[in-house]
A and B are shown apart, each in its own frame.
Chain A
Amino acid sequence: MNHLLVVLVVFSPLVGFLINGILGKKLPEKLSGALGTLAVLISFVSSILLWNHVSIHGGFETVLFNWLAIDTLVLDFGFRVDALSIWMMLIISGIGTLIHLYSIGYMHGDKGFSRFFAYLNLFVFSMFLLVMGNNLVVLFFGWEGVGLCSYLLIGFWYHNVAYGHAARKAFIMNRIGDLGLLLGIFLIFKVFGTLHLATIAELASANLVQPQIINWITFLLFIGAMGKSAQIPLFTWLPDAMAGPTPVSALIHAATMVTAGIYLVVRNANLYQIATLTTQIILIIGLATSILAALIGLYQNDIKKVLAYSTVSQLGLMFVALGVGAYSTAMFHLTTHAFFKALLFLGAGSVIHAMGGEQNISFMGGLKNKIKTTHITFLIGTLAIIGFPLFSGFFSKDEILEKVFEYSPIAWGFTLFSAALTAIYMLRLYFVVFLGNFRGSETQKANLHESPISMTLPLMILALLSLFGGVLNLPHFLPENMSQFLSHWIASIPSMQFMAPSSHEHHLSQTIIFGLMGLAIVLVLVLLFLVYRFYASRQFNILPNQSRFSKLGENKFFVDEIYNHLFVKQIESRSEFLYKVFEKKAVKPFIMLFPRIFGQLGKVFQRVQDGNVENYLLYFVLGIISFILLILL
């Protein structure tokens, strides 16, 4: 039964992909979309049933077939369903279903409608492989699979050259990370002799391996995570990835795929537990990414770009949590972020839909009364992400802040700064888009309309989740039976018991904890007031800013240009040099040495031959036959 459910979870999106991929063109739009959505819904329902099983009996594994076996390298195409993977499965399939539903409305009338659903289903399938694989190679299948789907979906509107570039950039930058991950996998096999995740966790806990090697392993895996989860230095692909249709941004580049790096670290938490050096690196990179992306986000005027940098920044915060060893906290923020960021992206999609494709916020404004449902839900999402008290983001961000303070007050200061920046750029976005006067064209104004129910229903559901998502892991000072649900849940995996809140020594006194929380609340409220004042004074419009720093921010600190100059241009000029100069000047003369000598010899023999090729052929074949006859007889 469980085996069947697992198969159903994983393969129902694959079947959806095949149906839409092969028959898509012949299916009517409604059916095509319904099939795609249904495929993910089946996964969701199956996941819920599996959740029930896991909560009673604990995790289990199931193997489909042996994929590859050479001596001790035995790799099964096998799945693991435990507290951690089922959590991810529910997020993927749950939010996945909502976004599929939303896409029916959003993609209405697009020529590639069925192709879109086919790719989206293929993505969900790959994502399941990633989080459900019971060994690192199946995880890697999913890891590259989601990268591929991301490529296909970013470049979905393939006539546009710039979109194609963005898609390639995403794939190639991800592959840099993938190489790190692959090398990490090699090292793990060399050290532990297995790639089976549960066995690795067990062996890691036994502490038999030198810490230095563990640091290497974890660092290599983290390189993979940098690529997939868009951390410095591999973050520049994510903002460009906004070229894809908005539901793609919501599903892949906010809620699921980009969190794969966090999943990878949490899944191997037993290794990261003992890798002190790597975790420090993770903390620093996470913090730096979080702040840099938030700073850039302050100066972007494209609604999706703001959200994209916000995603990079929030992912950075999750890595901060991982860096201080707060694994379940990172999972908690991953979850709430999946709710509110999916909501914000879908909301942005609804705004873009209403604006007839316009993405520049300086042409929006005053949408509050025009698209009410979108407005309310977007407001809820904004309040959730800035950590307004009692919204889901409040709890998860506060937990990160507390854990970081416990680790290092300096890091806490930076984290708080990043959280403050989040509040500023998100409030700016909200005010400029929804308040003030409409600044778009007359035709846009005339055509402003609320999106159809298939789009607003997912918004409403996600808004509820963003509002109440905090209950999944309420603070530990509340009574034990209602607090820290997620932490307890993940700690139910035997190898992850150390994540249980009860086993965790609280160094901080109650006063400090409440003090920190109070500070965060006050900060949000003050910022809310200040940012409102600031934008109210300019009619909720953004004015061109001439300061040098804002120029830097608008140009994304020139990171793309620097990479282009340092790497792309260098490699391209090497390519030209090797082909046009090195091949012709160095390799060819070297190689022509022999032909020259033989060419001279050839001139001597030339006279013997009459030039009739047919004759040669005949002699040649006859020669072979007589030769063979000679041997056989």
Chain B
Amino acid sequence: MALILFIPLIVSIICFLLPTKWVKDFALAFSTTFFAYIIYLLFTDFNPQNDFHYTFQNLGIRSLGAQFTFGLDGLGMLMVALTNFVVMYVNIMATKKGYSSRFYGLVFLMQFALIGVFSCLSAFFFYVFWELALIPIYLILLFWGTGKNRKETFITFFVYTFVGSLLILGGFIFFHIEAKMGDYDGFQYLNMVTRNLEGYNALIFSTLMIIGFGVKIPIFPLHSWQAQTYKKAPIEGTILLSAIMLKMGIYGIFRWVLPFLDLKHTIVQEITIILSVIGVLYGAIIALRRNDLKLIAAFSSLSHVGLITAGLLTANIYGMQGAVIQMVVHGINVLGLFYIIDIIQKQTGTRNIQNLGGIASKAPIFSILSLIIILGTISVPLTNGFPGEMLLLFSLYLYKPVLAVIAGLTIIFGAAYMLRIYQLTFFREVSVETEDFKEISISQMFALGFIAFLVIAIGLFPQYILDISYITCTHLKNLLATRL
């Protein structure tokens, strides 16, 4: 565990020190190896039947009751794998852009923080890593962002998520006091889950935590930082934000909110589910008419993620399992989507779909790979988007059928806006901007092809992922059952 956690930190320091001409190859080589290593662990060493793996403890700050505890269960493991996957792709995409050393240093620093978030079993250090993750991404946005008023946008983003973090900290402290955790090991996840709050205390706790995590996800109406930030961020930053950072929020709800829910007083839970479902529809409707590819991806993300949050908070096994697989899948697909956008923007200099067109005749392979990824995002069966969406909608259906109907509209709107993009960009006659569009390079084909492969592979065999997180979800389900 210590290895998985600290290697990225060491690599980050190395990257800061390395000269620019070596750093990108080093970064790419390392992140690929590291991803391969995690996948190797996942399929050979990791046993989904056990609870936490690779646990690692140290004394930490005893006087605060904050032990330095790490461990990975199925959920954490998947998130770590996703983190490494995303970081690998960020490095792949960065190769030709001439980023300086500090870019790579920041990316790996971010990776370190993310792995910390996903593996930390102490509320105290979870919070430390949570905060830590914010800083590198903020700097990446600031250094390499584009567009006017970007500073204001990024400061909004920073302050907003920072306030969210404070609420989380407040939530933890509140829990610590109200649940009378005592001094020793009071911030330990495994100790915390044995207690729970009731009545108003539970409501206060879940309100603080859900708003705190909700900013990051984002849950409607906390999303306003998202679209502009995505738009002005460098594409690598957008990817880090959408493919992995927003998963921190969902993961946070999974690990730090759900186990402490008071199922007798579910008003906060209910409101959040309703808001999330509104977000599903809201994002999809807005995406229908936008012309900037990045904006469409941002609002579609709002829509998709709303469904994950809603399904997760229904707290039945289908919702939880659906949320897990959809977190992974959304990470892969949104990464693919932004990769496609990046390729188009680099070649044509525009992201406005009205100015694009006819790429299918210029770059057939690129078009087919893009189509597969787009089909994944609109959850066509036998692509990776389907099993999760089905499970999430089903969990909502069990919760309240009408919510499933409303959220289900996303399968119609989702198809509408994604196929609109596809038609305007890839079909039609070529435009001035796309006249010289060239087929993507072999290495890009491999990179994009691997994503397309995952779209189909996970669609055909979703059970591999569901098996990994099954015990986590079952434990949570059983824990919640004892509260009723």
Contacts and interface: CB of A to CB of B under 8 A. Distances in A.
Contacts of A187: 397, 401
Contact of A631 (B58, B102, B285): B58
A4 interface: no
Interface in A135-163: 137, 140-141, 143-145, 148, 151, 155, 158-159, 161
Nearest to B395: A186
A613 to B, nearest CB: 7
A594 B163 contact: yes
A572 B310 CA distance: 25
Which of B155, B411, B426: most chain A CB closer than 10 A?
A: B411
A73 B395 CA distance: 12
A549 interface: no
Contacts of A583: 224, 227, 286
B372 to A, nearest CB: 11
Interface string A395-431: 0000000000000000000000000000000000000
Which of A179, A572, A614: most chain B CB closer than 10 A?
A: A179
A578 interface: yes
Contact of A168 (B16, B155, B160, B416): B416
Given A172-B416, A624-B9, A631-B61, A155 B427 contact: yes
A579 B382 CA distance: 33
A158 B428 contact: yes
A168 B429 contact: no
Interface stretch (B38-46, B85-93, B385-393): B385-393
Interface string B1-42: 000000001001100100000000000000000000000000
Given A587-B224, A599-B155, A176 B412 contact: yes
B193 interface: no
B382 A179 contact: no
Contact of A145 (B143, B382, B393, B420): B382
A189 interface: yes
Contacts of B12: 621
Interface stretch (B254-262, B338-346, B462-470): B462-470
A159 B409 contact: no
Contacts of A141: 381-382
Contacts of A70: 317-318, 321, 391, 466, 470
Interface residues of B, number: 76
Nearest to B322: A70
B411 A178 contact: yes
B222 interface: yes
A175 B411 contact: yes
A159 B361 contact: yes
Given A578-B286, A594-B163, A631 B59 contact: yes
Nearest to A138: B381
A176 to B, nearest CB: 6
Contacts of B102: 614, 617
Interface string B372-403: 00010000111000010011011001100100
Given A70-B317, A73-B318, A579 B289 contact: yes
Contact of A621 (B13, B321, B419, B462): B13
Interface stretch (A51-59, A61-69, A363-371): A61-69
Contacts of A179: 405, 408-409, 411-412
B66 to A, nearest CB: 9
B224 A588 contact: yes
Which of A144, A190, A620: most chain B CB closer than 10 A?
A: A144
B225 A571 contact: no
A576 B291 CA distance: 12
Contact of B380 (A144, A587, A624): A144
Contacts of B285: 571, 574-575, 578
A158 B430 CA distance: 11
A159 B416 CA distance: 19
A249 to B, nearest CB: 20
A164 B155 contact: no
A489 B327 CA distance: 48
Nearest to A627: B128
B16 A621 contact: yes
Contact of A591 (B222, B382, B461): B222
A171 B381 CA distance: 14
A186 B387 contact: no
A186 B404 contact: yes
Given A168-B419, A617-B102, A67 B412 contact: no
B351 interface: no
A164 B59 CA distance: 64
A570 to B, nearest CB: 10
Given A183-B408, A571-B285, A598-B159, A164 B394 contact: no
A71 B427 CA distance: 44
A172 B470 contact: no
B155 to A, nearest CB: 6
A143 B287 CA distance: 26
A587 B381 contact: no
Contacts of A67: 460-463
Contacts of B290: 579
Contact of A189 (B221, B358, B394): B394
Interface in B447-478: 460-463, 466, 470
Given A575-B285, A583-B224, A591-B224, A68 B360 contact: no
Contacts of B429: 159
A632 interface: yes
Interface in A523-555: none
B106 to A, nearest CB: 8
A69 B463 contact: yes
Contacts of B401: 183, 186-187
Interface string A184-208: 0011011000000000000000000
Interface string B109-124: 1000000000000000
B415 A175 contact: yes
Contacts of B411: 175, 178-179, 182
Interface string A313-356: 00000000000000000000000000000000000000000000
B156 interface: yes
Contact of A183 (B222, B227, B405): B405
A1 interface: no
Which of B58, B159, B358, B470: most chain A CB closer than 10 A?
A: B159
A475 B61 CA distance: 88
Contact of B224 (A65, A590, A613): A590
A595 B318 contact: no
A148 B375 contact: yes
A511 to B, nearest CB: 51
Contact of B358 (A159, A579, A592): A159
B201 interface: no
B205 interface: no
Interface in B68-105: 68, 102, 105
14 contacts: A68-B463, A70-B318, A161-B428, A164-B427, A175-B411, A183-B408, A574-B285, A579-B290, A583-B224, A595-B160, A598-B162, A617-B102, A621-B109, A631-B61
Given A575-B288, A598-B163, A624-B9, 17 more contacts: A68-B387, A144-B380, A151-B419, A158-B426, A159-B361, A159-B429, A172-B412, A172-B415, A175-B411, A571-B285, A572-B289, A574-B285, A578-B286, A587-B224, A591-B225, A617-B139, A624-B132
Interface of A: 21, 25, 65-71, 73, 137, 140-141, 143-145, 148, 151, 155, 158-159, 161, 164-165, 167-168, 171-172, 175-176, 178-179, 182-183, 186-187, 189-190, 571-572, 574-576, 578-579, 583, 586-588, 590-592, 594-595, 598-599, 613-614, 617, 620-621, 624-625, 631-632
Interface of B: 9, 12-13, 16, 58-61, 68, 102, 105, 109, 132, 135, 139, 143, 155-156, 159-160, 162-163, 221-225, 227, 282, 285-290, 317-318, 321, 358, 360-361, 364, 368, 375, 380-382, 387, 390-391, 393-394, 397-398, 401, 404-405, 408-409, 411-412, 415-416, 419-420, 423, 426-429, 460-463, 466, 470
